[in-house]
Amino acid sequence: MPKKGTKSKKVVDDVANEQENKLPDYLELQRTRVVCNADAPIHTLGFQYSGAFAAMGVDNSVSVEKFCKNFKVEINRLTEDDIEFDMIGVDASIANAFRRILIAEVPTMAIEKVFMADNTSVIADEVLSHRLGLIPLDADPRLFDYISENDVPNERNTIVYKLHVSCPKGSQRITVKSSELEWLPEGSQLSMASSAQSGDKQKTFTSFSKSQKQILEKPLGVKFKDITIARLGPGQAIELEAHAVKGVGKVHAKWSPVATAWYRMLPEVVILEEIKGDNAEKLVKKCPVNVFDIEDLGNGEKRAVVAKPRACTLCRQCVMKDDGQKIELRRVRDHFIFTIESTGALPPEVLFTEAVKILEEKCEKVISELS
């Protein structure tokens, strides 16, 4: 699709490049950093408007080409259930969109309907159902469809689990763990009461046309085997069937694929004026996360240096008193340290790509609505 107006955009870019105008240092600082003073942060908003510096001949716009050139990702840690990475060269609005989508709009499977056949435990039906809903399931949501109100539960949109435990009379109290949930790949085993007498095949609450074992590569289960569901005293029993469906976190938090997803801006600690001797020692002690270190200058002289700016939690102890004026705490506006903790349905790196895909889909939807 030929883009209208791309030409005019290009011209603006070229003009800026030719002139090679640069912002004065103090403005560049305001544009790229949030400065955290002892009382409050300043320059928090930045300059959003593309023509903010037009009068100075400086272009503040970000074209896609520019974005693609500057964007960087660095992975710091990647384990089975969490990831930490640096996202560099992106605006807070985009980073926040990814975070919001991760929490509220990436789908997972969770138990939604519970058919209670028997529950003589002390825990009430609705509380038990709620607890079941919150159990993370080890099922890839990408293999399933959403179920809508009038849909019949089938092998493509429903996962059926059975829980049947009882505590024999005269024995010790038992704890029901999530490992007792048994996956039923052939669908529901509970028959609907009305059709119980008619027909050779009894009608159940699901209509699976084939076993889920045929469509899934690995058997489904729960992610964590040791979640306590209930406790049963002697003579008590629970018999139920739980139906899991696909959903998103904005409907109910049980569908949220992340325990948390968050980001923070990269801290930058700058020593504006040299801090020496005893003052340096004091400064190192003052910081609870050991951001500062001491450098030996030889002949007994010591100087404070910034060793681990990344550890800074912005407690601002160092800028409060004494040498406070000599230090500046800043945050880099376009550098995000992004952390995703998965609940287990999908690995964290897949969650992020899924989130980005969802934002793409949103754009596509609105574009097609406007055309």
Binding site for another protein (CB under 8 A): 1, 3-6, 8-9, 12, 48-51, 59-64, 67-68, 71-75, 78, 85, 87, 90-91, 93-94, 96-97, 100-101, 105, 349, 352-353, 356-357, 359-360, 362-364, 366-367, 369-371
Nearer to another protein, 133 or 247 (CB): 247
User: Are the C-beta atoms of residues 192 and 198 closer than 8 Å to each other?
Assistant: no
Cβ 247 to another protein shortest distance, Å? 15
Nearer to another protein, 78 or 192 (CB): 78
Tokens 């948390």 correspond to 260
- CA distance readout (Å), 218 to 110, 214, 227: 18, 10, 22
Is residue 349 exposed (0-12), middle (13-18) or buried (19+ Cβ within 10 Å)?
A: middle
Cβ 268 to another protein shortest distance, Å? 22
Cβ 126 to another protein shortest distance, Å? 26
- CA distance readout (Å), 332 to 32, 90, 271: 6, 11, 16
Nearer to another protein, 8 or 209 (CB): 8
Cβ 93 to another protein shortest distance, Å? 4
Cβ 346 to another protein shortest distance, Å? 13
Nearer to another protein, 15 or 192 (CB): 15
Cβ 143 to another protein shortest distance, Å? 20
Q: What are the CB-based long-range contacts (under 8 Å, 24+) for 309-316?
A: 309/266, 309/267, 309/268, 309/269, 310/266, 310/267, 310/337, 312/267, 312/269, 313/288, 313/289, 314/36, 314/267, 315/288, 315/289, 316/36, 316/38
Query: 228 - beta bridge partners?
Result: 177
Tokens 């109910």 correspond to 252
Nearer to another protein, 87 or 163 (CB): 87
DSSP output for 89-128: S--HHHHHHHHHHHHHTS-EEEEEEEEEEEE-SSS-HHHH
Nearer to another protein, 165 or 266 (CB): 266
Cβ 5 to another protein shortest distance, Å? 5
Tokens of 124: 């009430």
Cα distance between residue 283 and residue 292, in whole Å: 7
Nearer to another protein, 85 or 208 (CB): 85
